[in-house]
Structure formats: structure tokens, C-alpha cells
Amino acid sequence: MFYFGPAGIPARCKGYEEAFDYLRQLGLNAMELEFVRGARMSLDRATEVGEQAEKQGIRLSAHAPYFINLNSKEKEKVEKSIAHIVKTAQVASAARASPVVVHAGYYSGKKPPEATEIITANLERCIEEIEEGGANNTIIGLETMGRVSAWGTLDEILEVCSRFKNVVPVVDFAHMYARTNGQIRNEEGFEEIVRKFETGGYPFMHVHMSSIAYTAKGERMHLSMEQSSEPDFRIIARVLKKRRYPITIISESPVLELDALKMKKIVEETP
């Protein structure tokens, strides 16, 4: 089963209810709640949003703020990062949105293994606070990152996820493509990524997808599928179509729902 939808409310819609109705009319069935500047939503409102999405058959996930860094050199930034993840998880839980996608942080001058240990410890604190607050159904999704300065290769994320029962990888194919300077170009390369993901035995896959511009430092900016075919989603679709577990594909393109529809069409037409 595939779910397709945008990262946030489409530009033509004025609010969540209008967005859910619009997506349903288009034939899309997912949306990510974008709390990238802070989860400024009451729990009562989050409950309403979740109920409306369910009525329209829209599967919700959520994205925590971009400015999180669980490996910051500054203790205050780490504490604020933990607070942002906990708050986002509480709102997402009320909206029945899962997973909560997190950009975990940067290397901050530390070697990757050390950064991994620090991020693991601080993530454990997040989970403890989330569970103490009663949001026990929360799943945290660690997103693969596109810049070489950012912590979050697939191997690093799989290592951390293996230590928790409620933390899963979020597979951003565009980020991984940019981080390798576009070296993943054939079906075998994307198949290797998916097989590596599957070593964790996860019951579903949450995917972020767009075209992307990059430099030697990795990700530069997201592009529409009309602007670029890097990475080529047709190849990725062939790999994903072989799977038998649920896959949600969230479009992070500048033309959110339009490219979500293009991806849906490509998957449907893939043998």
C-alpha cells in the first residue's frame, strides 16, 4: 500500500480542513504537518485536525523544527532541541500523526561515532519525557540528511534506531543522492539503500522525495521534478514497487501536491 501527499498545506489552501478536502479530490492520501518553526498548535486543535484528516482518508505524519541539534556544543541549544521534539511529539500524538520526523543535528566538530553517542543519549531523554507526558504512541523518525556537515547517514541512523523500539529511519532519497554528489544513479544503488533499511525489520517505510540541487558539500536546494530529474524517481519507483509493506511518500518539492501526483502516477504505471 502506497500513500502520497505533500509536506505541508498546499499553497492554494487556507487551512487544514480545506487542504484535506483538496488532497482527497486529487486522489492523494497523506500529508505531513510542518512544524518546522515550532509546534504552535494546541492539543485540542491538533485533535480536531487529526479527526478531519481521518474523515478524509488522509494519513498524517509530522515534522519537528529544522533548528534542532542534539549534538550542539551549547547546552542551551540541546535543551531547547529536546523541548522542541517533545512538544512536537505531544501535538503529533493528539493529531494521530506518525512518525514525527526529526533532523537530529550536526557533527559540530566531533567525529561521527562520538556524535552518534551524544545524539543517542539526548534522544533517549526526549523519549523519556515524551512517555512521561503520556504520548506513548509516538514514533520518532530520524531523517537521512543531505549535507556532509549534518549527522545522519543511513548507517548512522540505523545504528541509533536499533537501540530503541519506537525510533525508525526516514528515507530521504534526494538527501542521500545529494550527499554522495549524485553517485546513486542506477536501480542497484537504490536497491542497496532499501535492503539496508530492511535489515531493521521495520513494518513501514516513510519517504521524503523531491528533485534536488547539490554541491560538493551536499544538498543545496529542493527542486521540482520539472526542473530536474535528479534523482530519477522512475528508478526509485521500480525498487519500491517490489515491496509489500506500507510506504508513505511525502513530496518536498516546491510544487508540493503536483509532484506528489506525478510520483503517484509513476508508481501506478511501474510494472
Q: How far apart are CA 190 and CA 99, in angstroms?
A: 23
Torsion of CA 102, 20, 236, 120, to 10 degrees: 10
Residues of the chain with pLDDT under 50: none
Q: Domain limits at 215?
A: 2-269
User: In the Cβ-directed half-sphere of 196, how many Cα atoms lie within 13 Å?
Assistant: 18
User: pLDDT tens-digit profile of 132-156?
Assistant: 988 878 899 999 999 999 999 999 9
Q: How far apart are CA 128 and CA 111, in angstroms?
A: 26
Give me the CATH number covering residue 47.
3.20.20.150
- Helix/strand/coil for 82: helix
For 96, residues 6+ apart whose C-beta sits below 8 A from its C-beta are 50, 53, 54, 60, 137
DSSP codes of every residue in 6-18: EBS--TT-SSHHH
Torsion of CA 81, 96, 43, 161, to 10 degrees: -20
- According to the 3-state scheme, what is the secondary structure of 24-66? HHHCCCEEEEECCCCCCCCHHHHHHHHHHHHHCCCEEEEECCC
| Strand residue runs (E) in 82-217 | 100-102, 140-143, 167-172, 205-209, 211-215
Q: How far apart are CA 160 and CA 178, in angstroms?
A: 22
Domain count, the chain: 1
Q: How far apart are CA 129 and CA 158, in angstroms?
A: 22
Which of 130, 208, 136 is CA-nearest to residue 169?
A: 208
User: pLDDT tens-digit profile of 92-102?
Assistant: 999 999 999 99
